[in-house]
Amino acid sequence: MPERARKPRIPWTTSLLAALAALMAALLAPPAAQAAAAGSKAPPESRPVYSYDRAVRETVWVDIKLDGDGDGRTDRVAADIIRPREAAERGRKVPVVMDASPYYSCCGRGNESQKKTYDAQGKPVQFPLYYDNYFVPRGYAVVLVDLAGTNRSDGCIDIGGRSDIQSAKAVIDWLNGRARGYSSRTGKHAVSAGWSTGAVGMIGKSYDGTVANGVAATGVKGLKTIVPIGAISSWYDYYFAKGAALYDGGPDGLANDIESPEAHGRCQAVQRKLVEGAPRNGDRTALWDERDYVKDAHKVRASVFAVHGMQDLNVRTKHFGQWWDALAANGVERKVWLSQTGHVDPFDYRRDTWVPTLHRWFDHYLLGYDNGIEREPMADVERAPDQWSTDRVWPPRGTAATTVRPAAGPQPGVGTLGTTPAPRGTTAEFTDDRTLGESDWSAHIDQSTPAKAGFTTAPLTRDLRLAGSSKVSLTVTPSTASAHLSAVLVDLGPATIRNYAASGEGILTLADRTCWGSGTTADTGCFKRTAADKQNVDYTVFSRGWADLGHYASASHGTPLTPGKPYTVTLDLAATDHVVPAGHRLALIVAGTDAGLIEPAATTPKLTVDLHRTSASLPLVGGKAAFERAVRSGGHGGRPAPATPRGLPVPSLTHRP
């Protein structure tokens, strides 16, 4: 349970500290000594026995052994540290919670965009987020690292490349005595981390969680666990979907936005490499291969607690799905939370459960407490706003890839979805309309419209659950030399969902605050409460995938298309866990440009889909038998769409991870 709501705290008084002295003397001993004294097993959780206001606050500049800015000396990154003073005074070493980020000065962290602050001597004062307030009193150090080229660090940001990853890895090496740290950015006075156990847990949302994924993929010793939240697993898949551009800019634009002002001049060579190595034609190059952490998942030693919003249209759940599958294949210990939000931290949609869960996770993997969290259900999934279910493993046992096939219906573009292949020669046609997207297609699923081809089941007689990643294989004939394709899965039926397309991406920020851990006047540990932003809808798009048809043969090299020639391409749809309830229909929609989510092709093609050679592979709980039971009925019986169907519009293409 959270600590009670309170006003921003001032430092603890001397009398209060004296009252706690006896308790602290006992608890400052190592866990084994505590257990021996108590004659019982190790305590189930760390306790807030250290003073926050007296904590050591310092900055160490760690040499990352790279010269990214080409100034003739290796770069140093700033690691701002807060750790319990009493532990240091008694010679007790502590583990580390680390968040490595490029955003501490440019953009801020968390729902309130907190930035680092410093006193007149440059000593850190405010540590963004709640990690310091909550975990330092419980016997952890918190280390917030400025990636190279940002805030107070040397070097250049390189958007997920070697410099980014080495910025954090070098700090882990320093915490384990394998790298050099200094008391200033340019001085020669070396500083050691003798206060650290060497055990590190990395955490962070978006770019920060992406760095955690990348560092884990190096296999660095000392990194015991990572908690990536809405994180990228492959930077190519952030900017492109099999050649189709997802954003109207590249990594050079992001680098320019987030690097420190003084880095603008010294990092032009790095910027040029980002431009030259990431062509906007969608080809996968060596630059993208370097920034693909999935291929190195076999090196991961750390446990992984992954968190992702299933309606995250910034860092799509394709990143979670492919990372999760690769980790599973290599036997990595894992846990997952999947919410109905967009790009949102669990602190801002399930705070009362999230913080105690994270606490127990770090206690187990960083302090070694046998609290049983690794034996609890692997997955928490949000089914409706603030309504959660759990699974012992994820995807659930009995989940199997099941092939479903589209077939022609009574009207052009209004077809059916089943398990029987369409007869040879059966086709569907649509013309790309770059002004329309998934909301328009779904709203008119039962109407013959020129911009999409839709296929639906009959109203289901049983619930049908999809858990994992889907694929759609299309054989299409274009009328022009270029074409972009989209495929979406839709739950057709009324529901109350989180309003993920709104500015809060599924949450409302309230005025009052709750406090987590201890605080000072400069860093209170108090944060605005949130509530679910709910929306009533008549359909829900729950998984998406896109591709450039010119990259049908390889993501590495796109080619112009020959009009009138058929091509086969597979679209990877984002991972999800969604239940289509009995009475609703499951729909597959195939179309061109998904407006607001991908960039259009250079031409506006008409596409003819060979339905006999088109199929979808869906991760169904219960497999093919579950699908056949759910669609069993006296006929197709598709319901007409509501007169004024309600869905959610999609956000714009402009995002920052």
Contact 544, 486 (CB under 8 A): yes
The runs of H, that is alpha helices, within 62-218 are 85-89, 131-135, 162-175, 207-216
Catalytic annotation present for 206:
yes
Of the residues 308, 343, 484, 578, which is catalytic?
343
Q: Which residues are paired to 507 by β-bridges?
A: 532
Of the residues 153, 167, 206, 518, which is catalytic?
206
Distance CA 616, CA 586 (A): 12
Distance CA 70, CA 269 (A): 9
Catalytic annotation present for 264:
no
Of the residues 99, 132, 312, 491, which is catalytic?
312
User: If DSSP codes are grouped into helix, strand and coil, which group holds residue 235?
Assistant: helix
Distance CA 86, CA 423 (A): 76
Q: Which residues are paired to 638 by β-bridges?
A: none
CB neighbour list of residue 43: distance below 8 Å, 6 or more residues apart = 31, 34, 35, 369
Contact 54, 21 (CB under 8 A): no
Catalytic annotation present for 343:
yes
CB neighbour list of residue 489: distance below 8 Å, 6 or more residues apart = 466, 470, 541, 542, 543, 544, 573, 576, 578, 586, 587, 588, 618
Backbone φ and ψ of 578, nearest 5°: -140, 140
> Pick from 179, 172, 254: which is nearest to 215 by CA?
172
Contact 452, 441 (CB under 8 A): yes
Q: What is the DSSP string of 520-532?
A: -SSS--EEEEEEE
Taking each helix axis as running N to C, give the angle between helix 268-277 and helix 251-258, from 0 to 180 degrees, rounded to the nearest 10. 150
The residue whose two tokens read 């109203």 is: 459
Query: Catalytic site residues?
Result: 206, 312, 343
